[in-house]
Structures are given as C-alpha cells and as structure tokens.
Amino acid sequence: QKEVEQNSGPLSVPEGAIASLNCTYSDRGSQSFFWYRQYSGKSPELIMSIYSNGDKEDGRFTAQLNKASQYVSLLIRDSQPSDSATYLCAAYTGTASKLTFGTGTRLQVTL
C-alpha cells in the first residue's frame, strides 16, 4: 500500500467550476499535510498546508483534513485554465522526519 495515495486523473473540469482533489494517507502518525502544484517541466510549488482537522481557506483554494478518515482534499473554486497542472499531496511524518508525496493528480480545466 502506498503511503500517500491520489487518483492520477486526469480530472477534467470546465472553467469556473469547482475542482475537487483527494488524497488518502496510511500513516496515522502523519502530522501535517501539504498540497503542491507542478506545471509540466517545472518544479513543485506550495499551494496550501494544513495541520488541524477541518477546513483552511486561502483565496480560491480550500484544504480539508480529516485525520480520523486519513483523508485530505483540496478544493479549487472558479477553476481557471491556468490551474491546469499536476497537484501533489504530501504528508509529513515526524518519526521519519520526512515528507512523503503522492503520485499526483493531473487537473485539466477546459474552456
């Protein structure tokens, strides 16, 4: 079982719609969670981090964390073509002192 799992996609949403990206993790010791965006041929860049159960909003982005279900999600409201990218979910585990990434979900926002 992969430590951090994501659906590889592609997830296709029309412009202006809400894109919902999901991630599950296996290590209950994971303490904090990160969403990175990676455009093709570029490096990952941080979009959101979340550490507590519940929702965290930043502009058009909302991260949701449910530690009981070991589930993290990222909602993108009013999706734009420029949001088309691969979104990487990552979990930090203190015992291993490392960030573990999922394989990413490719998002396509269509006109």
Partner 1 sequence: DTAVSQTPKYLVTQMGNDKSIKCEQNLGHDTMYWYKQDSKKFLKIMFSYNNKELIINETVPNRFSPKSPDKAHLNLHINSLELGDSAVYFCASSQIASGASTDTQYFGPGTRLTVL
Q: How far is the CB of 43 from partner 1 (least distance, A)?
A: 4
Residue 88 backbone dihedrals phi, psi, to 5 degrees: -105, 130
The answer for residues whose C-beta is within 8 angstroms of residue 47's C-beta and 6 or more apart is 35, 36, 37, 58, 61, 74, 87
* # chain residues binding partner 1, by CB under 8 A: 24
Q: Report the relative pairing of strands 105-110 and 11-14 from DSSP bridges.
A: parallel
Query: Which residues in the 41-60 window bind partner 1 by CB under 8 A?
Result: 42-46, 49, 51
Query: Which residues in the 12-31 window bind partner 1 by CB under 8 A?
Result: 31
Q: Is 57 helix (H, G, I), strand (E, B) or coil?
A: strand
Tell me: does residue 84 bind partner 1 (CB under 8 A).
no
Q: How far is the CB of 62 from partner 1 (least distance, A)?
A: 18
Distance CA 81, CA 45 (A): 17
Q: How far is the CB of 71 from partner 1 (least distance, A)?
A: 18
Binding interface with partner 1 (CB under 8 A): 31-32, 34, 38, 42-46, 49, 51, 86, 88, 92-94, 96-101, 103-104
